[in-house]
Chains A and B, each alone.
Chain A
Amino acid sequence: MKTESIALSLIQPNDGQIPGLPRNPRSWSVRELARLKKSIADTPEMLELRPPIVYEYEGHYIAIGGNMRLSVLKETEGITSVPCIVLSPDTPLRKLKEIAIKDNAKFGDWDYDALADEWSDFDLRDYGINDFTDPQDEPQGDGNASPVDDRKVIEIELAPDEFLFVSGKFRDMGETPEAAVLKVLGL
């Protein structure tokens, strides 16, 4: 294992190229991608401290850890290379799988009291802390938990470019996807 600077053009997302290693099982929203982009720009030191983890395969490097960051970097102007942890070529497949999962796993939890007491000057959502709730905001009293969600789900499968078009339209309209669809369907 070694840390070295690698040209972005040589790094591929883990799309399942390595037999036996499934694709990176993570998703992200456009908004989160923008948040991460801002985070990387604000704290570039983090990239050096937590470099993407890659594995050399057929003349390229496959991203085992850091796929989302790499997709941000590839779209950031002026960045052509990035520090990476290059796994040893004899790393067993099973270990690659473990690293792909565990690099995103969380063994502990946020201490929400500590966050509220001592870290509230940060906009925590910008730091990838999405489920932060101020304990004081939680409903008090009658134990009336979240209402039952009896809404129906309509699923529409789109190709990536179609999706980008659709989400861009929704954004332009300034509506939630649900409201935007009602509007364009004339309902």
Chain B
Amino acid sequence: MIHPVKIPLSRLRLNEGQLDWLPRNPRQWTREQLDRLAESIKETPQLLEARGLIVYPFGDTFVVIGGNMRLSALTLMGEAEAPCYILPADMDREKVREIVLKDNGDYGLWNQTMLSRDWADLPLERWGVEAIEVQDYAEKNKEINVGAFSENITLKLKYEEPQASLVSARLGEDKRSVLLKALGYED
């Protein structure tokens, strides 16, 4: 188990391509976004503690592999140190590159219905919660979206006319039963 350690900001460096085998951090942000992040860190210091920066040794300093924007925000806030996970210097270089990408990757998506129903008391937009319509997303991925765990799932089918009317007519009132029966589902 790895535990984060506190490192003074003066020893942390943004990844600007100093390591000849590692491209600069492929992220960008505006001053406004940075201000919002600083505000968020101030509001929820627990999350910074839980998600330490990921750093790689570079001389007597460390290059930030994950958390470049947060390092910028912490500097702006005048903080003295940050919790960091230190990667071993002999870590496979390809692994380090994977970590850069994966630390910013995103595998699921926001459930709009739940966000607007249950979480609307929070300033979501200010926190970088991007509202992507589930059906646009499903369309883009040529895939049906799955709600997590136990809730019912809405299958969304998109048709142009006249198919839309034909399918609607064929499915009738009880769309679910007709579809399941057509596919041979046995309860």
Contact = CB atoms under 8 A, between A and B. Distances in A.
Where chain A touches its partner, the secondary structure class is mixed
A158 to B, nearest CB: 5
Given A4-B1, A104-B106, A152-B159, A27 B37 contact: no
Where chain B touches its partner, the secondary structure class is mixed
Interface string A26-69: 11111111011001001101101110010000000000010110
A129 interface: yes
A154 B155 CA distance: 8
Contacts of B1: 3-5, 48, 83
A103 to B, nearest CB: 7
Interface residues of B, number: 93
Contacts of A67: 148
A74 B149 CA distance: 12
18 contacts: A22-B118, A27-B134, A29-B145, A30-B143, A39-B105, A48-B1, A68-B107, A99-B46, A101-B124, A103-B50, A103-B51, A106-B130, A109-B33, A110-B104, A115-B26, A158-B152, A158-B155, A158-B180
Given A129-B106, A156-B157, 20 more contacts: A1-B46, A3-B3, A13-B148, A23-B148, A27-B108, A27-B109, A32-B107, A46-B99, A50-B103, A87-B50, A91-B46, A98-B44, A98-B122, A101-B129, A104-B129, A107-B37, A151-B159, A151-B164, A155-B156, A157-B154
Interface of B: 1-3, 23-29, 33-34, 36-37, 40, 43-44, 46-47, 49-51, 54, 66, 69, 85, 91, 95, 97-99, 101-111, 114-115, 117-119, 122, 124, 127-130, 134-135, 138, 140-161, 163-164, 166-168, 170-171, 175-176, 179-180, 182-185
